Amino acid sequence: MRIIEKQMNAAISKCKSWKCANTEVSVENDGVSVVYLHGHRIAEIGDDFVTLYDAGYQTATTKSRLNAILSAHGAGERIYQRDFVWYISTSEGEKEFEDGMILS
């Protein structure tokens, strides 16, 4: 995991706003941490859910940030790519990634 991703996860865990380079964590009034990459929302993390977005950019950096979030705040999920298509591996199996998918 990259240093910036460790710092991002620390901010999410502490429920604090944070920004470094192209990545930002913003905390909303209801305690939900929102992660932005290049100004685009890529994740929302609450007490009992994680919502994932690709913002129309299925890049290596987006996937890396999402996987870092899942490693610290998920339940063993992982995003990977096969033949230019993103998939998510969950305890329920593998499925194609969908923008806005909610994991509980």
Q: How many domains does the chain have?
A: 1
Say if residues 43 and 64 touch (Cβ distance below 8 Å).
Answer: no
pLDDT at 8: 98
Q: Quote the domain boundaries for residue 98.
A: 3-103
pLDDT at 92: 86
Residue whose entry in the numeric block shows the structure tokens 């690709």: 54
The one-letter code for the residue type at 58 is Q
Q: Tell me the H-state helices in 21-59.
A: none
The one-letter code for the residue type at 1 is M
Verdict on whether the full-model pTM lies above 0.85: yes
pLDDT at 29: 87
Q: For the chain, list residues with pLDDT below 50.
A: none
